[in-house]
């Protein structure tokens, strides 16, 4: 059971990490080959990435003291992968309180950003 939960967490976290890396490459204007390959992967999954470049150039892309949201997301993804690894190693599923708090805040920020995309920016970014 523990391994299944850890694998499930990894399977949910890795796509989020790829999305954050894609947005990081858009913001920095770097890694064109990597960005292209991720764009192809997302397009294959049915996502349209054409409007995403516009979204990363708005103030909504930097909510955390000027740091890009995606950088915070990458740190969070790495922390979640570490949590999954700890579950695999220890054989025990335990979620520390800081993870629960950050997870709840992430959901609230996500709702705010989706509202901003739909209502304020009117820019779809279906990733």
pLDDT more than 70, % of the chain: 88
| pLDDT one-digit tens code per residue, 55-113 | 777 888 888 888 888 899 999 999 999 999 999 999 999 999 999 999 999 999 888 88
What is this structure's pTM? 0.82
Question: Does 22 score more than 90 pLDDT?
Answer: no
- For 37-48, what is the mean pLDDT? 69
- For 23-52, b/e burial (b = at least 16 CB within 10 A) is bbbbbeeeeeeebeebbeebeeeeeebeeb
**Cα four-point dihedral sign 27, 127, 108, 94:** negative
CA 27/CA 71 separation, integer angstroms: 11
Q: Which two tokens stand for residue 95?
A: 């979620």
**Model pLDDT, residue 105:** 92
């Amino acid at each position: 059971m523990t391994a299944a939960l850890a694998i499930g967490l990894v399977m949910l976290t890795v796509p989020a990490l790829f999305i954050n890396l894609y947005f990081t490459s858009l913001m920095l204007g770097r890694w064109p080959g990597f960005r292209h390959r991720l764009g192809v992967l997302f397009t294959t999954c049915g996502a349209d990435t054409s409007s995403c470049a516009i979204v990363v150039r708005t103030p909504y892309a930097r909510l955390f003291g000027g740091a890009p949201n995606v950088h915070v997301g990458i740190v969070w993804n790495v922390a979640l992968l570490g949590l999954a690894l700890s579950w695999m190693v220890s054989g025990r599923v335990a979620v520390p309180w800081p993870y629960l708090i950050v997870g709840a805040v992430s959901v609230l920020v996500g709702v705010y950003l989706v509202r901003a995309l739909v209502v304020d920016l009117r820019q779809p970014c279906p990733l």
